[in-house]
Amino acid sequence: MDKHEQDKGPGLPAIEPQEDQPGSRRRFVATSLGLAGAAAAALIPAERALAVDAPSMSPAPPREVMTMIMARDGTRIYYKDWGTGPVVVFSHGWPLSADAFEDQMFFLAQNGYRVIAHDRRGHGRSAQTWGGNDLDTYADDLGNLLDTLDVKKVTLVGHSTGGGEVVRYIGRHGAKRVAKIVLIGAIPPVMIKSDSNPGGTPKEAFDGLRKSVQADRAQFFYDLSAPFYGANRPGSKVSEGVRRSFQAQGLQAGMPASYFCVKAFSETDLTADLKKILVPALILHGDDDQIVPIADSAMLSSKLLKNAKLIVYPGAPHGMCTTEKDKVNADLLAFLKS
């Protein structure tokens, strides 16, 4: 570990709340309701009738608009499926959605790959379930997606919690459909500090996440975007749009997933699952990751996996799929072709 990592230490960064954000949820909802009310009042009776009847006269949307599969417990899982060629399947992090991988998916689809990404249950456009917000269920949902689409020789790519999902999937279901895996800023082996994991993040940090989710989820997700993308570092070029996108994706997730997934990604021990993985693995991690510190994640996982290559991105944050997208894309493509 270099001096930079030693000085940084484990744990999640303090997040400074900001007041009166122009894109706050309350202001958005209030404005939307006001506009909707004005529009409704302006309709004459005949136009109201037309407005009511209009949906029945509209054609059904094409399949690509909202592609769903059913999990084994009946939960609706949204996914996107672009391109043709060898298959790459993406699993996103908390509290985001499949949209977090749009830069990688678009790039690989243009380079001759079929790319698939789902919104984890409770996140994005998938159903907001009360139960099943745990890595076993997430892994089973990923397996159901692969089985339903009947894809083979797949490269699984997981970022953050999604990396834990990929590892637990192989631990539970084997690698019969899997050719390779990629872990990006991923949570394995285990995040929480304990006697067996003294370098982990203290439980109090995760308790703080849960408290913030309940106190003001909209503001919290905006604030969390700063350490996520390194926007709190000197010289950061992270745009306001990127931070607002993080907030918007976070607010698509339901409250149960926002809250319960914290326990899933922080306390699930994936050590045994990592030891079962024999397929080639690529690990990408930033050495300035303030969310999943590299010393207690990638540095350990790379030793537990039997066939792994670790690439450390100097100065890169947790959200490196966005901030370092060109390098991530190039490293992914090189690994896929190797």
Task: Show which residues are catalytic.
Answer: 160, 289, 318
Phi and psi at residue 67, in whole multiples of 5°?
-95, 120
Euclidean distance between CA atoms 202 and 193, whole angstroms: 5
* Cα-Cα end-to-end distance for the chain: 29
3-class DSSP assignment, residue 257: helix
Euclidean distance between CA atoms 154 and 113, whole angstroms: 11
Residue 292 sits at the vertex; the CA angle it makes with 192 and 202, to the nearest 5 degrees, is: 30
- What tokens does 110 get? 């243009």
Q: Which helix (H) or strand (E) holds 323?
A: helix 320-323
Nearest to 243 by CA among 264, 218, 261: 218
Euclidean distance between CA atoms 338 and 328, whole angstroms: 15
Q: List all residues 6 or more positions away from 291 whose beta carbon is below 8 Å from its beta carbon.
A: 12, 160, 185, 227, 228, 317, 318
Euclidean distance between CA atoms 76 and 236, whole angstroms: 38
Task: Tell me whether strands 87-91 and 114-118 are parallel, antiparallel or unpaired.
Answer: parallel
Residue 148 sits at the vertex; the CA angle it makes with 119 and 133, to the nearest 5 degrees, is: 35
Q: Which helix (H) or strand (E) holds 158?
A: strand 154-159
Task: For residue 204, count CB atoms less than 10 angstroms from its CB and return exposed for 0-12, middle for 13-18, buried for 19 or more.
Answer: exposed
